[in-house]
Amino acid sequence: MSCSRFKFWAGILLIFAVTVGGCAPPQAAPTITSTGLDPQQTPTTQPNIIVITPTQSSGLLRPTPGTSFCADPGVQAVLTGLITAIKENDGAALGSLIDPVDGLDIYYTSASLPVNITVETALDLFDSTLSYTWGDHPGSGLPVEGTFSVEILPLLLDGMDRPHTQACQNLETGIGTGPTTAVITWPEKHSGMPFIALFRAPGPQDNELDWRTWAVGFSVVNGEPKIRMLIQYFWEI
């Protein structure tokens, strides 16, 4: 067979194969939009969304330890409200003063595990029959168990309903606490929390060991000071 006849029949066979098997039409080029993607295509990664918090004004109250926080009129008002709520057994007032997010942690001693009181719990706290385990007495070593009104309220009143002084961020003997053999410190894990020590010193006729301190720790929620923590200090033996 001559070369020209071979090319002729090869061409016929090629046309026949394309006709029978079909031939997919060429794909259209993707439409390019302002985003650089075909509208029907899904991006493999989502774009990053950056939220920038507005800068807070320098005058806004922050939970920063120091004398300026302790002297803030709002902080003093909350502290006065706490003392009044304790004296008057006012659960609603107490609930309005404590941290609405994390509640109030009450420490029988700084070495005890805290008992957390939520805003809802505070409403009926003074009348509640619910018993808590507050911790071990540092003198006897026995567990302190019972209701808030029986085990904690009398101790709060002993410090807050009697003449006492305030010590800002200070638990030194004679300033924020009385004489003791224990090492008295604010818990290291809460070192960034501002606190005010309410120190009830012994009376003129009392034993020098008859003293009590309640250290009140504060948080700030939406710019407002709240009571976050109460820690008791006293002569341990």
- Distance, CA of 206 to CA of 208 (rounded, Å): 6
Three-state secondary structure call for residue 104? strand
pLDDT computed for residue 80 by the predictor? 98
- Asked whether the beta carbons of 190 and 37 are under 8 A apart, the reply is no
Q: Which two tokens stand for residue 176?
A: 């924020």
pLDDT at res. 237: 62
C-alpha torsion 132→138→140→141, nearest 10: 60
Residue 120 pLDDT:
97
Q: Return the closest-CA partner of residue 110 out of 37, 12, 62, 176.
A: 176
What does each of the 237 residues of the chain score in pLDDT, given as a tens digit?
544 444 444 444 444 343 444 444 444 444 444 344 444 444 444 443 333 333 344 467 988 889 999 999 999 999 999 999 999 999 999 999 999 999 999 999 999 999 999 999 999 999 999 999 999 988 888 999 999 999 999 999 999 999 999 999 999 999 999 998 888 999 999 999 999 999 999 988 888 999 999 999 999 999 999 999 999 999 876
Write down the pLDDT at residue 59.
63
| Domains of the chain and CATH, by start | 76-234 (3.10.450)
Q: How far is the C-alpha of 224 from the C-alpha of 43, rounded, in Å?
A: 44
pLDDT for residue 236: 78
Quick one: pLDDT at residue 140? 83
- Quote the pLDDT of residue 205: 84
For residue 118, give the 3-state DSSP assignment. Answer: coil
Strand partners, 145: 133
Distance CA 228, CA 118 (A): 10
- Please check whether residue 200 is in contact with residue 213, taking contact to mean a CB–CB distance below 8 angstroms: yes
pTM of the predicted model, to two decimals? 0.74
pLDDT at 138 (0 to 100): 85
- Quick one: which of 98, 105, 95, 158 has its CA closest to 132? 105
Q: Give CA–CA dist 88/146, Å, rounded.
A: 21
- The DSSP symbol for 58 reads T
Residues 78 and 95: their CA atoms lie apart, in Å, by: 12
